């Protein structure tokens, strides 16, 4: 069993903290974990968040220096290489979860090209400068814009992310559903296109259960409809907890795996 998505972001970049994730994975019977942090932890990526700052609440969220843009990529990589060199009970690899923003694609490409990562996960967390998954997103986005428009833009951005060829894995493909607000149009053609693009660009898709236990969404990861289309197209799937603390590592991975086989 693999848990392909977990974050160190609430703790320090120390060996002791990473080993808590390893230990938790071992206890839950996992064989492999992928550790990644959001690009908003790292000083090198601050410029790609510029557009978000046009809204005061987002600016405040980004200016929390205890959480955001506090470390250098080289320190994360050095730490993870040190951990990987240890004799561990589970396989450990590391990468990033990049907040993909099309305007900053070349900037992202340039930064990524300067470092080694075992994998790079791409995620859409904002729609044209507005985060969709925060408490304040209801007022900023969902109450203000047409739901069909939000979904259309979300999947257009996902397609651009895939076509950038910067990533090996797509984070939580249908997480735009997290507040259980749905469009009125049929998403099947979108899902078919998504499956084809993922295959064409040799990307894995996550069955990420973060929405299930962190946002109380009823789906154990992907929706039945999307999962069925991805399976039919033989898209490579990976189970992921989206743990933000050691105790959440491996959460619902067994259940998530049962759905993808
Ligand atoms: Zn994410
Ligand atoms: Zn994540």
> Region 108-130: what's the mean pLDDT?
98
Residue 195: strand, helix, or coil? helix
Distance 122 CA to ligand 2 centre (A): 10
Residues 6 or more apart whose CB falls under 8 angstroms from that of 242 comprise 5, 6, 7, 172, 208, 209, 210, 214, 248
91 exposed, middle or buried (CB, 10 Å; 0-12, 13-18, 19+)? middle
What is the distance in A from the centroid of ligand 2 to the CA of 6? 6
Q: Which two tokens stand for residue 54?
A: 């046009």
C-alpha to C-alpha distances, 192 to 46, 147, 204, 224, 234, nearest whole angstrom: 34, 20, 15, 14, 12
Mean pLDDT of 50-56: 97
Could you give the percent of the chain with pLDDT greater than 90?
A: 99
Distance from residue 98's CA to the centre of ligand 2 (Å): 9
Asked whether 84 and 92 are in contact (CB, 8 A), the reply is yes
| Closest alpha carbon to 150 in 170, 174, 121 | 174
Average pLDDT (111-125) is 98
Give the confidence band of 232 by pLDDT, cuts at 50, 70, 90: very high
Mean of the per-residue pLDDT values of the chain: 97
Render pLDDT for 87-99 as a digit per residue (tens, 0 to 9): 999 999 999 999 9
- For position 66, what pLDDT does the model report? 87
The pLDDT value recorded for residue 202 is: 98
pLDDT of residue 231: 98
**CA of residue 99 to ligand 1 center, whole Å:** 8
37 and 123 Cβ atoms separated by less than 8 Å: no
What was the pLDDT predicted at 65? 84
Give residue 91's pLDDT. 98
Buried-state track 148-167, b at ≥16 Cβ within 10 A, e below 16: eebbebbbebbebbbebebb
> How do the domains of the chain map onto residue ranges?
2-260
Mean pLDDT of 205-210: 97
39 burial level (CB within 10 Å; 0-12, 13-18, 19+): buried
H or E stretch covering 194:
helix 188-200
Q: What is the mean pLDDT of residues 138-142?
A: 97
Per-residue model confidence as pLDDT tens digits over 144-175:
999 999 999 999 999 999 999 999 999 999 99
E strand or H helix at 261, and its extent?
A: none
Q: How far is the CA of 68 from the centre of ligand 1 (A)?
A: 15
Q: Output the pTM of the full model.
A: 0.97
| Cβ–Cβ under 8 Å, residues 5 and 206 | yes
Q: Which of 92, 95, 118 is nearest to 31 (CA)?
A: 92
Q: Could you read off the pLDDT of 4-26 as tens digits, one per residue?
A: 999 999 999 999 999 999 999 99
78 falls in which pLDDT band (50, 70, 90)?
very high
- How far is ligand 2, taken at its centre, from the CA of residue 77, in Å? 18
User: pLDDT category, 234, cuts 50, 70, 90?
Assistant: very high
pLDDT for residue 94: 98
How far apart are the CA of 219 and the centre of ligand 2, in A?
17
Query: In the CATH scheme, what is the homologous superfamily, with its name and number, of domain 2-260?
Result: Metal-dependent hydrolases (3.20.20.140)
User: Whose atoms come closest to the Cα of 3: which ligand?
Assistant: 2
pLDDT band at 132 (very low <50, low <70, confident <90, very high): very high
Question: Helical H runs in 51-129?
Answer: 56-62, 73-84, 105-113
Q: State percent of the chain over pLDDT 70.
A: 100
Ligand approaching nearest to the C-alpha of 171: 1
CA distance 159 to 201: 11
pLDDT at residue 240 is higher than 90 = yes
Which ligand is located closest to the Cα atom of residue 124? 1
- Is residue 181 within 8 A of residue 214, CB to CB? The reply is no
């Amino acid at each position: 069993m693999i848990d392909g998505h977990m974050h160190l972001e609430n703790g320090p970049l120390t060996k002791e903290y990473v080993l808590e994730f390893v230990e938790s994975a071992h206890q839950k019977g996992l064989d492999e974990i992928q550790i990644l942090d959001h690009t908003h932890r790292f000083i090198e990526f601050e410029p790609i968040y510029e557009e978000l700052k046009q809204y005061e609440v987002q600016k405040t969220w980004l200016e929390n220096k205890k959480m955001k843009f506090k470390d250098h990529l080289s320190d994360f990589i050095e730490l993870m290489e040190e951990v990987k060199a240890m004799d561990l009970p589970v396989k450990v690899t590391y990468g990033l979860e990049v907040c993909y923003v099309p305007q900053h694609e070349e900037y992202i490409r340039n930064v990524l090209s300067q470092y080694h990562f075992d994998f790079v996960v791409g995620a859409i967390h904002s729609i044209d400068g507005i985060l969709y998954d925060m408490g304040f997103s209801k007022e900023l986005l969902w109450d203000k814009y047409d739901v069909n428009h939000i979904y259309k833009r979300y999947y257009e951005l996902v397609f651009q992310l895939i076509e950038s060829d910067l990533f090996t894995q797509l984070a939580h493909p249908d997480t735009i559903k997290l507040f259980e607000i749905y469009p009125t149009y049929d998403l099947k053609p979108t899902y078919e296109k998504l499956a084809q693009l993922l295959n064409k660009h040799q990307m894995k898709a996550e069955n990420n259960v973060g929405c299930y236990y962190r946002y109380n969404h009823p789906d154990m990861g992907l929706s039945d409809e999307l999962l069925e289309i991805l399976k039919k197209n033989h898209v490579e799937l990976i189970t992921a907890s989206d743990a933000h603390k050691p105790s959440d590592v491996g959460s619902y991975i067994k259940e998530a795996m049962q759905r993808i086989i």
